[in-house]
Chain A
Amino acid sequence: MTNQLNAIERLAEVKQERMQKNLKARYAKEKRFQVYGIMSICLGMAFLAMLLGTIFYGGASSFMTSEIKLTINYDPDVIGVTDLTDEDELKWADWRGLLSTSLAERFPEVSGRSAVRQRNALVSSIAEYSLRDRLLANPEKLGTSEEIWIVADDEIDAVMKGQVDRTVPESERRITDLQLSLIDSLEAEGEIRQKFNTTFFTAGDSREPEQAGIRGAMIGSFYTLLVTLLLSFPIGVAAAIYLEEFAPQNRLTEVIEVNINNLAAVPSIVFGLLGLAVFINVFHLPRSAPVVGGLVLTLMTLPTIIISSRSAIKAVPPSIREAALGLGASKMQMVMHHVLPLAMPGMLTGTIIGMAQALGETAPLLMIGMVAFIADIPGGPLDPATVLPVQVYLWSDLPERAFVAKTSGAIMVLLGFLAIMNLLAVYLRKKFEKTW
């Protein structure tokens, strides 16, 4: 027996010496490995900080807008309208003239066609329509004049936000020296100001950055999520109840389960193809409508809701089921009266998380036409609409600098909603967390 031990006995003699020789290198490796781990985490966190930083830094300015104080004289001669109820006259009204006249009075020194054009470009190119709406709402103002704040053009806004480098030669700027001097004189008189951008939250989409808002997209997202919630929550919970409590162990059940697991990982754009081919081409539902978006997102979020609802049901202890059954309740009564109420917080948490996913989803909605430019605010789930993430996508493609800020601003709003939903889910989980 003992001679067998030779190798190990010999080892015992050299062991310490050999180990000590390696020890330093091994600890260095250990340190390095640990550093890799820390670096990995830092990389993720640094990226998160960079992403949020970029967006918040770039988006903050979209919540402010610039306005110019002008004296507007609602002169019937300028507008060319004497009767505000006459549709034919209104068709030919020169609302733009109101602004240019007013600007001409403010800056009488500006002359020459090019200079006048630059001067007129100080205010938003569609500010005239707000003047029109204002006058139509208050017809008695015709012929009077008032001082009001008019939304400035986005390039002027950029100057006010200090985003324009004045040292750059004029030819390389989108804003001219003349305009800069006009802004300076306005600023000196306190006739240009920055204020909270309410338009951003009250207006629909627009080609002009200073007039574009996210209200249309927010309402579109709301209707889309409403449809999704109304369909996916009951169906998801029902499916989860069936699979956990009633499904027999057979092939059909197996097929359903495999399907749910696989659907959870199908790329979202494929659901868009489904929506296009089935809901729009076969059932002729309206394109670009939140109802179709809601249907597509329902199919997408169902697996999430079913899976989390099932684990919520699983977490209800068998003792409660046995107690109910022992009192003579039928299986359905046991489920509806005892299991479902206890599993409800978990199901709600899962549903909120599913809704948050749906809120951030973009790709499938592109397929069903929710990318159209829609300036009107949708009035119902059948009206053409877009949603917040698609609005982000649309704006990110536009060249104007102001739209870059708007995109970031829209992202901030989107992230805000997502944060609220997730915090709600966390709160629900914490509040109803039970250990049986």
Chain B
Amino acid sequence: MTTNTNDELAQIFEGWSSTVGKPTLKDNARMTTRGVDVFYGEKQAIFGVDLDIGKNEVLAMIGPSGCGKSTFLRTLNRMNDTIDICRVKGDIHLDGDNIYDKKMDVVNLRARVGMVFQKPNPFPKSIYDNVAYGPRIHGLVTRKAELDEIVETALQKASIWNEVKDRLDQPATGLSGGQQQRLCIARTIAVSPEVILMDEPCSALDPIATARIEELIAELSENFTIAIVTHSMQQAARVSSRTAYFHLGRLVEVGATDKIFTAPEHRLTEDYITGRFG
């Protein structure tokens, strides 16, 4: 941080009330979050975030590292449940269902809100079994032919079918990094989720592989709602329709992507996208 001392930040966040821009959507919202706080033990990581994710939109979340964007993303399909000391407050709804409700089943939730991780993490199984994993555990198919069709469709949709169709029974760990990440996307869409969360999906990939994933995100947005966390502003600009800027656990500004990158309203957002820190 070059322009903001901690004192200045404290001033900015003192009596923090609202996010600049329009975090909420009138209709068309697939997921809504209201007043979300996240704590790791005693430490608060997310402060009162209100944010909606619309149907079939690509929402990018950007911000300096440690700003809580990944933490926030992980609350959306309750991946934070696997961390003992993590607590989440506030309301998060998926299609009107409160996902932190006691009645909400986390297994079911994660089948509806899929996730793609920073590092490609194919299971040590064959390519076919990786994609078939989700449908199998959820018992989504009744016949082998149906499963074959789903696997093929998912791989096609993840634009990797042509590369792997002749070696579906080979271990997925033998694929290149970019292929592995597309396989992980195929694995996620094979359970037909409503929302796909992507946590810096290209950070471990080379530029060519990154470009292919970015194309893929654009195609997927026709059918899925996508929230993507990225450390690359250019990537956010290329793939998303809306962008949310996070800073020190707060959602500072939300808006249409081109507006955020051309005419940000908040000073922090401006400082970030003009490269004064990050």
A interface residues (Cβ-Cβ under 8 A, vs B): 1-2, 4-9, 11-12, 14-16, 18-23, 26
Using CB atoms, name the residue of chain A closest to B223: A5
Q: Which residues of B147-180 have CB atoms within 8 Å of chain A's CB atoms?
A: 149-150, 152-154, 156-157
Q: Would A1 and B138 count as touching, CB distance under 8 A? A: no
Counting chain B CB atoms within 10 Å of each CB, the highest count among A11, A18, A21 belongs to: A11
Interface size on B, residues (CB 8 A): 26
6 further A-B pairs in the complex, CB-CB below 8 A; given A8-B153, A14-B140:
A11-B141, A11-B150, A22-B138, A23-B105, A23-B108, A26-B107
Complex CA distance for A292 and B82, rounded to whole angstroms: 55
Main secondary structure of the interface of A (DSSP, over half): helix
Contact assessment for B192 and A8 in the assembled complex, using a CB-CB cutoff below 8 Å: yes
Known: A12-B192, A22-B139. A7 touches B108 (CB 8 A): no
Q: Which residues of A contact B105 (CB under 8 A)?
A: 23
The 8 Å CB contact of A8, one of B111, B139, B154, B222, is: B154
The 10 closest A-B pairs by CB, nearest first: A22-B139, A7-B153, A12-B192, A7-B149, A11-B192, A8-B192, A7-B150, A4-B156, A19-B138, A18-B140
Q: Is the CB of A15 within 8 A of B191?
A: yes
Docked complex: B98-149 residues within 8 A CB-CB of A: 105, 107-108, 111, 135, 137-142, 146, 149
Contact B138 A8 (CB under 8 A): no
Chain A residues, CB < 8 A from B108: 16, 19-20, 23
Closest-by-CB residue of B relative to A25 is B139
- CB pair A1–B222 under 8 Å, yes or no, is yes
B189 x A15 contact (CB < 8 A): no
B219 touches A1 (CB 8 A): yes
Contacts of A19 in B (CB 8 A): 108, 111, 138-140
CB <8 Å contact, A15 and B149: no
B190 within 8 A of A: yes
> With A and B bound together, what is the CA distance between A374 and B3 in angstroms?
85
B139 and chain A: residue at smallest CB distance: A22
Which among A2, A4, A15, A26 is the interface contact of B192 at CB below 8 angstroms?
A15
A5–B140 CB distance below 8 A: no
Q: Which residue of A lies closest to B219 (CB)?
A: A1
Chain B residues whose CB sits within 8 angstroms of the CB of A18 once the complex forms: 138-140, 142
CB neighbours (8 Å) of A26 from chain B are: 107, 137, 139
Give, as a whole number of angstroms, the nearest-CB distance from B219 to chain A.
7
Q: Within 8 Å CB of A6, what residues of B?
A: 153
- List 10 A-B pairs, Cβ < 8 Å: A2-B223, A5-B153, A7-B150, A8-B223, A9-B192, A12-B192, A16-B108, A18-B139, A23-B105, A23-B107
In the bound assembly, the distance between CA atoms of A14 and B146 in angstroms comes to 12
Assembly CA distance A11 to B150 (angstroms): 8
**Chain B residues whose CB sits within 8 angstroms of the CB of A7 once the complex forms:** 146, 149-150, 152-153
| Min C-beta distance of B104 to chain A, whole Å | 12
